């Protein structure tokens, strides 16, 4: 039992998704550790690790003995809003099971539009029987935006199913079976033959509304946008405008600027917009907790956790430290 002061503890706060599954999984994997949630009485000096998602801004600075901040999701937008953080590792959560779920989700929609199932659905409503010719998989272009650990897996998985896949990232990347492009000047080349564009870009200050009026204008008119990243990477108003004007074919949106998507949103009503409630890759505590515990073990053994993330406020402090030493 946690007594305070004599026992180091793990702070768990998975805002919006619940702590119970994580607490149970961590209890099985770390039976000798104390796991506390904000509802418990916590002595700040005793917190060794913070396992958080959408944690209250500023609170992580209250724990003087903190060794690491471990995020309970792949995204970093919550931690990136912090104006100051202790100088400890911030560790993203990349669960291979979740990454594969996202890759399968993306492949499903590639198959959906490759085989014209959207057209057949409309034909069924009209009781109209007509077969469509479809290109071979190798002729059907797919572009994946963002070639980090998630995007690279998504691109490689789609390519392994025979599709012609381009990948784009801000920096040069290499993915087996995928033709890769990098930099703003290469975006139009990456889009040139895309019938489906899968967005895997993380949400950062640089990628906010990355898919906007300008970048959407680079897409072929028969392209469908599939967003499995964060809602604010796309400009939803611009996407809807382009669909209405038939400048792109449609959009599959799994992530939205506001979640749940408000009932007043025009996205619900358009027949060429497909909405799913942020389920492309659902984090499951039973598998994800193993990844978190592996990183805790690394840190306790004096090893570096993986993958680390440097929030903007820590980047700023790093620049100050470098400048003061020069």
pLDDT digits (tens, 9 = 90+) for 198-237: 999 999 999 999 999 999 999 999 999 999 999 999 999 9
Q: What are phi and psi of 261, to 5 degrees?
A: -60, 125
Q: Which of 55, 114, 164, 230 is catalytic?
A: 230
CA distance 16 to 22: 13
312 pLDDT higher than 50: yes
pLDDT for the residue 88: 98
- Identify the band that residue 323 occupies on the pLDDT scale cut at 50, 70 and 90: very low
pLDDT at 317: 64
Grade residue 310 by pLDDT with cuts at 50, 70 and 90.
Answer: very high
Sequence-separated (6 or more) residues with CB below 8 Å from residue 243: 249, 250, 251, 270, 272, 273
Confidence bin at 52 (pLDDT 50/70/90): very high
Q: What is residue 4's predicted lDDT score, i.e. its pLDDT?
A: 52
Residues 237 and 239: their CA atoms lie apart, in Å, by 5
What domains are defined for the chain? 9-95+283-311 (3.40.50.720), 96-275 (3.40.50.720)
Q: What is the pLDDT of residues 242-295, one digit of tens each?
A: 999 999 999 999 999 999 999 999 999 999 999 999 999 989 999 999 999 999
Tokens for 236?
A: 């939803």
Query: What's the confidence (pLDDT) of residue 167?
Result: 98
Flag whether pLDDT at 1 surpasses 60. no
23 labelled catalytic? no
> Which pLDDT score is estimated for 153?
98
Instruction: Name the catalytic one among 112, 278, 298, 309.
Output: 278
- Alpha-carbon distance of 35 to 236, in angstroms, equals 40
Residue 41 tokens, joined: 């009485």
What average pLDDT does this structure show over 125-149?
A: 97
Nearest to 278 by CA among 231, 317, 245: 231
278 assigned to active site: yes
Q: What percent of the chain has pLDDT over 90?
A: 93
pLDDT reported for residue 5: 47
- Report whether pLDDT(322) > 70: no
Average pLDDT of the residues in 62-90: 96
CA distances from 195 to 7, 54, 174 (A): 57, 35, 22
Q: What per-residue confidence (pLDDT) applies to 125?
A: 96
Supply the pTM of this predicted model.
0.92
Residue 320 has pLDDT above 90, yes or no: no
């Amino acid at each position: 039992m946690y007594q305070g002061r004599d026992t180091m503890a793990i702070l768990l706060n998975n805002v919006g998704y619940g702590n119970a599954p994580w607490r149970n999984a961590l209890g099985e994997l770390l039976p000798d550790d104390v796991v506390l949630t904000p509802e418990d009485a916590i002595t700040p000096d005793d917190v060794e690790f913070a396992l958080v998602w959408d944690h209250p801004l500023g609170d992580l600075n209250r724990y003087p003995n903190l060794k690491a901040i471990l995020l309970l999701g792949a995204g970093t937008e919550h931690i990136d809003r912090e104006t100051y953080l202790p100088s400890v590792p911030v560790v993203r959560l990349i669960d291979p099971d979740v990454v594969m779920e996202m890759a399968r989700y993306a492949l499903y929609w590639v198959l959906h539009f490759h085989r014209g199932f959207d057209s057949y659905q409309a034909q069924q409503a009209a009781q109209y029987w007509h077969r469509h010719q479809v290109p071979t998989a190798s002729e059907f272009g797919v572009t994946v935006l963002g070639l980090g650990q998630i995007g690279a897996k998504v691109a490689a998985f789609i390519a392994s199913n025979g599709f012609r896949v381009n990948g784009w990232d801000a920096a040069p990347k290499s993915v087996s079976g995928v033709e890769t492009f990098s930099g703003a000047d290469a975006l139009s080349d990456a889009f040139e033959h895309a019938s489906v564009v899968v967005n895997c870009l993380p949400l950062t200050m640089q990628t906010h509304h990355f898919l906007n009026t300008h970048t959407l204008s680079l897409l072929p008119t028969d392209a469908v946008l599939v967003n499995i990243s964060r809602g604010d990477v796309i400009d939803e108003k611009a996407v809807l405008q382009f669909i209405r004007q038939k400048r792109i074919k449609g959009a599959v949106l799994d992530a939205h600027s506001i979640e749940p998507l408000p009932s007043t949103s025009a996205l619900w009503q358009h027949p060429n917009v497909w909405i799913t409630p942020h389920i492309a890759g659902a984090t499951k505590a039973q598998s994800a907790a193993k990844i978190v515990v592996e990183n805790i073990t690394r840190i306790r053994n004096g090893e570096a956790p993986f993958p680390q993330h440097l929030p903007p406020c820590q980047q700023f402090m790093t620049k100050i430290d470098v400048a003061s030493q020069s």
